[in-house]
Amino acid sequence: MMGRLLATILGCICVFLPVKAQDNVAYSIKGSVPEGVSSVFLNTLRNEPIDTALVENGTFSFQGSLAMNTFLTLTDDGDDLPVNLLVDGSPLEVNMERGTLKGSRLNERLNKADRKITDLTIDYMQDQMEYAQTSQWRTETRDSLRRVMSATYNKLVVEMKNVIRANPDNVIPALYLSQIYNTLSIEELKEFLNDSHAYSSHPLCIGAWRMVNHHEKTNIGTRFTDLTEADTVGVSHKLSEYVGHGNYVLIDFWASWCAPCMSEMDNVKANYQKYHSKGFEIVGLSFDRGRQPWINAIESHGLNWVHLSDLKYWNSEASIVYGISSIPANLLIDGNGIIVATDLRGAELGRRLKEIYGF
């Protein structure tokens, strides 16, 4: 039970991102399981199945090919803990009962780091379960357990940072950076995403890169960054066609499938109608992936301002350039193209525009 639960939790905290096209390499995985296990599963880091092997005489095997340096995880239908591995062209041998892996030096190094991190993750899970059972306990007891849980999580993060710092010459850090980048300071992210580090271009680092980009491209006082996307009839436009020409412009990151975005649209529309005659403009940059839902949302809600999209969902130019990882989001740009406010929603948008236009 603990093994399956851990696999689920680790899968949820990992970031799954599209892998940049590259040459595949063969993988060959064989291993042993304890008595009573009948199946072993080869999964992505989010427990999405790749292959299943039936156990015969206590052993199993997998063969196939995947992109070089793809991280995978092995689980079984027993109570054994998951084993992470790296596709690097080398044959691997796994003992599911012990959680050990033999093969390339890099995979063995990963396994050594992973076993310590797994132990800390189990401790954290146990703290979480104990805390979850204390809803009727005294406040002092819950506060004490919360501090214990926080201390355990901090130990887990520190250990992942240690692994990242100890492995600048290989891709192992990408696995752990993908799990903790949301907890790191911008200074730490910049330290870890040094271009000289072998892992910094790994697809699992895209989320961390986007966070750095978001910080650098959306700081108040920073000039907006240009990009190109198409309008609703397919004609390409630069953002600079609309921004930096003397008027205030709200760059609105949204999507028709985003319920909070659509809930905010009445407020955005009201402010547009109130201040558009004074020069206020809006450029909507949509994260849609289907043209018709995008068009339908614009028309049905009467969103009569500029709309651009490349219909690439989270891989849109807007997401990549500005490091946007959640929507709704927006930037208010002054007439000189300088960012003066971010994420103005609800009454805050109206208050800021009132300060600018005086009514």
In order of their start, the domains of the chain are 1-217 (no CATH), 228-357 (3.40.30.10)
**34-58: per-residue pLDDT in tens?**
999 999 999 999 889 999 999 999 9
Structure tokens at 40: 């072993």
> Predicted confidence band at 137 (pLDDT cuts at 50, 70, 90)?
low
In terms of DSSP H, where are the helices of 218-342?
Answer: 259-275, 291-300, 317-322
> Predicted confidence band at 9 (pLDDT cuts at 50, 70, 90)?
very low
What's the pLDDT score for residue 93?
A: 98
What's the pLDDT score for residue 3?
A: 47
DSSP 253-278: EE-TT-HHHHHHHHHHHHHHHHHGGG
**48-86: per-residue pLDDT in tens?**
999 999 999 999 999 999 999 999 999 999 988 999 999
pLDDT at 135 over 70: no
- Please indicate whether residue 15 or residue 212 has the higher confidence score (pLDDT): 212
Distance between CA 219 and CA 100 in Å, rounded?
Answer: 46
pLDDT at 7 over 70: no
Decide if 247 contacts 279 (C-beta within 8 A): yes
Distance between CA 11 and CA 73 in Å, rounded?
Answer: 9
pLDDT at 243 over 60: yes
In terms of DSSP H, where are the helices of the chain?
Answer: 2-13, 105-132, 139-166, 172-180, 186-192, 206-217, 259-275, 291-300, 317-322, 347-357
What's the pLDDT score for residue 22?
A: 58
Exposed/middle/buried for 228, CB within 10 Å: 0-12, 13-18, 19+?
A: middle
> Predicted confidence band at 127 (pLDDT cuts at 50, 70, 90)?
confident
Mean of pLDDT values over 222-227: 96
pLDDT at 20 over 60: no
Distance between CA 268 and CA 33 in Å, rounded?
Answer: 58
Three-point CA angle 296, 301, 303, nearest 5°: 95
DSSP-based three-state secondary structure for 53: strand
CA-nearest of 325, 313, 287, 311 to 15 is 325
Distance between CA 202 and CA 208 in Å, rounded?
Answer: 11
DSSP-based three-state secondary structure for 350: helix
Mean of pLDDT values over 243-263: 97
pTM of the model: 0.74
Question: Look-up: residue for tokens 């379960």?
Answer: 129
- Please indicate whether residue 207 or residue 332 has the higher confidence score (pLDDT): 332
DSSP-based three-state secondary structure for 87: coil
CA-nearest of 86, 91, 44 to 63 is 91
Instruction: Return the half-sphere exposure (C-beta side, CA atoms, 13 A cut-off) of residue 296.
Output: 8
pLDDT at 14 over 80: no
What's the pLDDT score for residue 136?
A: 63
CA-nearest of 355, 359, 349 to 271 is 349
pLDDT at 245 over 80: yes
Question: Look-up: residue for tokens 């955005």?
Answer: 268
Measured from the Cβ of residue 246, the count of other Cβ atoms closer than 10 Å reads: 9
Strand partners, 40: 53, 76
> Predicted confidence band at 173 (pLDDT cuts at 50, 70, 90)?
very high
Decide if 92 contacts 82 (C-beta within 8 A): no
What's the pLDDT score for residue 167?
A: 97
pLDDT at 141 over 80: no
Decide if 118 contacts 96 (C-beta within 8 A): no
> Predicted confidence band at 146 (pLDDT cuts at 50, 70, 90)?
confident
What's the pLDDT score for residue 19?
A: 39
What are the CA-CA distances from residue 191 to residues 20, 94, 162, 200, 209 (Å)?
23, 34, 13, 11, 12
What's the pLDDT score for residue 131?
A: 77
